[in-house]
Amino acid sequence: MRLTLERMMKKSGIDDVDIFHQMGAVDAYLQVKQTQGKNVDQKLLWMFAGAIEGCHWTLLNESHKSVLLQQLEQKKQHFKPPRGAEQHPCDFI
């Protein structure tokens, strides 16, 4: 991953690769989106998934992306922001 993404993850509390792998692409995406807000789009989810799978995000097949989107929609409904973080209702578009 690019250094910029690693810095975003670090600022979001994802301090190392093991934590990133344990969290998975969807949870890492939600956590980064919570702290980075509008600067984050769906492409970041693909990048995280590609990093976990060990391939470039453009090589992820459509069925894998579809599963990730389903997981994302399910987790958005139950996602709780970190304590003390303010959440705007439009943050999860």
pTM for this entry = 0.79
Residue type, 15: D
pLDDT for 29-53, tens place per residue?
999 999 988 778 999 999 999 999 9
Cα 68 to its chain centre, rounded Å, is 10
Contacts of the segment 17-23: beta carbons below 8 A, 24+ positions apart: 20/48, 20/51, 20/52, 21/52
pLDDT for 47-82, tens place per residue?
999 999 999 999 999 999 999 999 999 998 876 655
